Amino acid sequence: MADILLSVEVRERTGTGGARQTRREGLIPGILYGGKLGNVPISLKQNEVQKALNAGDFIDQTVTIEHKGERQLVLTRDVQYHPVTDLPLHVDLYRVDEDQMIEVNVPVRFVHEEEAPGLKRGGVLNIVRHELALMCPAGSIPEAIEVDLTGFEIGDSAHISSVKLPEGVTPAITDRDFTIVTVVGSRAAVAEAEEAEAEAAEAAEAAEAAEAQDEGE
């Protein structure tokens, strides 16, 4: 998202009245946080913000803002929407440097579901986390983290320790190896698995009985 450029202006009026006036002018009020300059009330062009939102993930992603020819990398932390029209009403941005480590939520993408035997047998994905809290350099936030489901059987699970993260990216949660997804059985799949286990047990018992009979003879 860092290739998106948003034009901003400093707002003179703040508070509810100032925000309403900004919206009447076809702009979106916002606040720029962080850095030595402190909090600065800003306004953004509605069409530029809407274009950025339509492009995909906008929250916890970096974009570039421009003010009087000067550019700054920022992180989008929050967007408030109108409850009826769903149009953006307010945007919170944070100043960051490209190498600055920041905590962001990155979506999880599950791949190779067709290579998961447990899913082929009727199992279903139990997604525990749709997003991962990660520490990333602000200039290289991954769009998504892939979890490979190849070979997953019913009862298998993926934990954060089994997921390959991009270089320089680490989990924000470090006190436990948390679960991301498990493959759980539907009733039909569980019944099939139990039936297969019972058949295997019967076959093993029959083999042991035959072996004992041979030894007796």
- Taking only the tens place, the pLDDT of each residue in 5-53 is 899 999 887 777 888 888 888 899 999 998 777 889 999 999 899 888 8
Produce one character per residue of 110-137: b if its CB has 16 or more CB atoms within 10 Å, e if not. beeeeebebbebbbebeeebeebebbbb
Strands 62-67 and 70-81: antiparallel
| Average pLDDT value for residue range 211-216 | 59
Q: Is the pLDDT of residue 186 over 80?
A: no
- Taking only the tens place, the pLDDT of each residue in 102-140 is 999 999 999 999 999 999 988 889 999 999 999 999 888
pTM: 0.68
Domains in the chain, please, with CATH? 5-96 (2.40.240.10), 102-185 (2.170.120.20)
